[in-house]
Amino acid sequence: MNTETIDHTTLSRLAEAGAVNSAHIVGQNGGWGILVKYGMTERALAAQRSRQVRIFRKFESLVSYLKGVGIDRFDVDAVNYDPVSIKTTRNRPDRSEAMKSAHQAVAYDKWLKAEIQEAIDDTSPLIPHAEVMQDVRSVIAKARAVKRA
């Protein structure tokens, strides 16, 4: 496939304007790609995030996508399509790690909220502020005395 690509927004606008001359679905390892011809230019559809050629793993998803854009007629080239090469599961270790981090963050928030609520609900006697400040002042005075000596 060509390395020059077209994005979804541009394809949608071209289809809406009736400028798409043809759409060619090309089978390959891993799924199906789209070549779109408009004017004298032919470009492959790019994935949004990676800007690499977009590959649809399922033919039905590709057909639904094209119909949603407004392209109802297209041709299919299945010469290089290899259904065996399509994985049934995706290997996304980055997403796995992100989900673990998210779960840890939720667990920490839950624990912290419970600790705070326990402190709020605690009915044990409180130490008056004046008494705490008196203790702090005596600790500071002792530290200064040690420092001078």
Q: Which tens digits make up the pLDDT trace of 12-62?
A: 999 999 999 999 999 988 889 999 999 899 999 998 888 888 989 889 999
- pLDDT category at 4 given cuts 50, 70, 90 is confident
Question: Among 65, 78, 19, 67, which residue's Cα sits nearest to residue 43?
Answer: 19
The whole-model pTM stands at 0.55
- Per-residue model confidence (pLDDT) at position 42: 92
3-state class (DSSP) for residue 14: helix
pLDDT of residue 1 exceeding 60: no
From CA 126, how far away is CA 111, in angstroms rounded? Answer: 23
